[in-house]
Amino acid sequence: MNSKHLMYSLTRMTYTFQKKIKIIRDKDRFLNALIKSNGNHNVLDLGAQIGLDENATMEIIAQLLAEFKIEYAVNGACDYSLIRRKSQIKKANRSKKGQKATLI
C-alpha cells in the first residue's frame, strides 16, 4: 500500500465513523425529546425541534422501532410511545407498593 491510498482509507474510515456517531447522538437526542414531550408533540415536530429533517426523523424512528425502544401506539398528538421493559414495570410496581404502605 502506498501512502496516498493509506491516507485516503484513513480519511474515509474517519468520515464513516463520525457519521455513525452523529446518528447515535441524534437518536439519543430524539429519544430524550420524545420522553420529555410525553406524547404532546408530533414526531416530525420533535425532529424539527432538534434540527432533523423529515427523512432523518423517520430513519431514527425506524431504528428505535427495530431496537424495541418505542412502539406504534396513538398517544395524544404523537403516534409512538416508549416500550416499558419488565424490569421497569417491576420497579414501578415496587415503588407504588412502597408509597401505599407509607400512606396508610
pLDDT of residue 100: 39
pLDDT of residue 15: 86
pLDDT of residue 31: 92
Task: From first to last of the 104 residues of the chain, give the pLDDT tens digit.
Answer: 688 888 888 888 888 889 899 999 999 999 999 888 887 888 899 999 999 999 999 999 999 999 989 888 876 677 777 777 655 555 545 554 544 333 32
Domain boundaries, the chain: 3-103
pLDDT of residue 75: 64
Domain 3-103: which CATH number of 1.25.40, 3.40.30, 1.10.10, 1.10.357:
1.10.10
Q: CA–CA separation, 81 vs 74, rounded Å?
A: 8
